[in-house]
Amino acid sequence: MEGSIKPADDMISTAKRQSTYWKQTSINDRITYLKKLQNVLINQLDHYVAWISKRTNKHQLDVLTGDFLIVFSALDYYIKNGTEILNPVKKKSPFPFWGCTSYVRYEPYGVVLIFSPWNYPFQLSILPIISAFITGNTIILKCSDQLPGFAPFLRSIFDQLNLPDGILQIIDGNAMVGQTLIEAKPNLVFFTGSHTTGDKVYQKAASLGIPCILELSGKDPMVVFDDCHLDRAANAAVWGSLVNGGQACVSVERIYVQSGIYGSFVEKVKDILKKIDSKSFSGMTTKESMEHVKKQVMDAINRGASHFRPDFHDEPFPIFLPPTLLTNVSHEMEIMRDETFGPVIAVMPFETEDDAIRLVNDSPYGLNAYLFTRNKSRIRRMIPLIESGSIFINDVVTNISNIHLPFGGVKCSGIGHYHGREGLLNFCSPKSVMQNNKNSGRNVNWYPYNKKAYSYIRNWIKWRYKAK
């Protein structure tokens, strides 16, 4: 792996040169490197968790589960299933192509440029790397400049795999570095980050004809009906809103509770918050994020929201924001419209199922949605009506870790998917192949044209496609 930082054009050129070699390696050869990565991570797991925890102000349990557990799950899944997923797939050859063999090959794009964010820096770097790597692409990873030192940290891990030069290159830098890398024309761009930045990446890539997979912002709703398991819903709301300091695209960011249990739900949430020690929470990774959250909370309070904060006597991280419960909120407030990305629990009541669907869909985002109810008929009705890439019933957040399922958003939350079989194939360019195995000198529809050929094809069409 390249350990030195090169100019963008040089990085892309190196990756393209190596792409011809790398795509000809067998899937099993690539899987061998993934097994090495698995062993490196297992052998030094505590060290890596501690390193990330210290630099992101996150609780080590949040790092272990959010950054590493899903990576091990993905490595295990693709090591076991990658060959089968990427094997050519035989397709039918209809009668007009009698004598032909048809199949689809899944080939690498070439050079994949990956942009990773700072909130789950390890997970959101490694997962797209795994997908691009096993499919035979060469990779350039551009890490967020909000987390200094992460790029060399990640290079030190991959250096232990002894990859051929140019297969994986890792760099950090500001927006100009990212723009320059796109202008150097990789074959695919994978971006994880805010909708605002993602839109700029998409426009730049589109102007150059480069396809994109975008995993963008969320404003994920949680709907709590009066027939739910109330204790479970309240505990889920607290954890789903506050895990990782609320800095997750799949965090619970707006909670709608049916009016009959609204008061009881709010009181249970308060009781849970009072019992949790501050040392259980993660801090904020950047001061800019903390100020953004404070601004949204103050906007809500100034517009009439009520707030509750547990009485903490210490702050476990240098950048720390105590959790805030907001009630009497509305969609007129920024806290219920724009991504918060911080430790806030915002709760408002609703009356009917139709009201819940309207509130959930009253957002430009559609990443994850959470539904708490025991009514199976209601679940079946609501699933197709909720505008969201994923839905988790009676649970929160961790459905992103089910590596068997594709993950991605709708509306302003993204384009495309990764994870699972479907996600892996998004890092491939499907190539359709047909082979004619007949030994005749010509096909019936070739020159010279004649009435016999016309009659034969016409009669076949009328017989085959006549409405039954």
Bridging pattern class, strands 428-436 and 100-108: antiparallel
Q: Can the peptide bond before residue 448 be classed as cis, meaning omega within 30 degrees of 0?
A: yes
- Kindly list the catalytic residues: 215, 249
Pull the structure tokens for residue 44: 């030094």
Cα–Cα distance between 164 and 152 in angstroms, integer? 18
Cα–Cα distance between 122 and 120 in angstroms, integer? 6
The one-letter amino acid code at 165 reads D
- Which whole-number Å values give the CA distances from 334 to 266, 305, 323, in the listed order? 21, 12, 18
DSSP alpha helix (H) spans, 276-418? 287-302, 353-361, 376-382
- Local structure of residue 449 (DSSP, 8 states): P
Q: What are phi and psi of 272, to 5 degrees?
A: -65, -45
Cα–Cα distance between 126 and 162 in angstroms, integer? 17
Cα–Cα distance between 266 and 388 in angstroms, integer? 26
Cα–Cα distance between 12 and 311 in angstroms, integer? 52
Assess contact for 286 and 319: CB atoms under 8 A: yes
